[in-house]
Amino acid sequence: MKHKRLNRDGWGFQYYPYYQMRIDDESFHGMACLIKLTDGDNNYWETPKAGRIQVTGEGMSWLELLPDDAARLITIMYFPEGVHDDARHNYPIPKNIRFQPSIYYVDIIEGIEYDEYGIATYIDRYLDVIFTPEGDIKIDDRDELDAAYASGELSKEQYDSALLECERILKDYCEDISKTGEWCAKIREIVEERIKAGELIKPCREVLELQNSKR
């Protein structure tokens, strides 16, 4: 299983503000991280219902949520604030038009640790649930999960718990995607208020290297 950092350094982004904070609110208890993409290429995926899905590009932002009571990482890839892709003809306008999701990506994970910079890291348990505001729902990388179990990398308990967590994710978020969007937007508002009040950018390795290069 792979260890991954929540600042998503493996995506090859250039400099971008990354915030990482603990939230304890009636709507959410856990870790919330926000990446604001200040530059970079526009990249797209294709889905049956929504069509072309933008996942990166200048002005987009990624909200990542690690709930205390679940083995999952929820990533909401948002369009620039207040807009969405006009090519998404069946896009349902959310109640909170400031934060309009392009796509949701939920990793099933195991364990949270912190690297030498204090950046949260997680162990990816292969299986993912991907869905869109238009109603696309996809369970991804089941073949990788099965292969990891067959090779002995995953125990029977780990394998079964990943499948159970997948079922819970489908129930919690995909039965009413509009409601999920409202919940995510509420947490995003909390994050933005914290940033407005002075929450600092988390100085990960990439940020420190950039700062040092400018001295």
Calculate what percentage of the chain has a pLDDT beyond 70.
Answer: 92
* 53, β-bridge pairs: 45
Give the tokens for residue 214: 């400018």
CA dist., res. 192 & res. 177, Å (int): 22
Residues 6+ apart with CB under 8 A from 143: none
Q: CB-based burial of residue 59 (10 Å sphere; 0-12 exposed, 13-18 middle, 19+ buried)?
A: middle
Q: Give me the domain span that covers residue 103.
A: 2-213
Per-residue model confidence (pLDDT) at position 51: 96
Q: Map residue 9 onto helix, strand or coil.
A: helix
Domain total in the chain: 1
Per-residue model confidence (pLDDT) at position 201: 87
**Kind of pairing, strands 61-67 and 28-36?**
antiparallel
Per-residue model confidence (pLDDT) at position 130: 98
Per-residue model confidence (pLDDT) at position 215: 62
CA dist., res. 150 & res. 167, Å (int): 21
CA dist., res. 50 & res. 103, Å (int): 9
Give yes or no for a contact between 165 and 80, defined as CB atoms under 8 angstroms apart.
no
Low-confidence ranges of the chain (pLDDT < 50): none
Give yes or no for a contact between 71 and 110, defined as CB atoms under 8 angstroms apart.
yes
Per-residue model confidence (pLDDT) at position 8: 83
Per-residue model confidence (pLDDT) at position 16: 76
The string of DSSP letters for 30-54 reads EEEEEEE--S---EEEEETTTEEEE
Per-residue model confidence (pLDDT) at position 65: 97
Q: Map residue 197 onto helix, strand or coil.
A: coil
**CATH number for the domain including 117?**
2.40.380
Q: Within the chain, what is the greatest distance between any pair of CA atoms?
A: 52
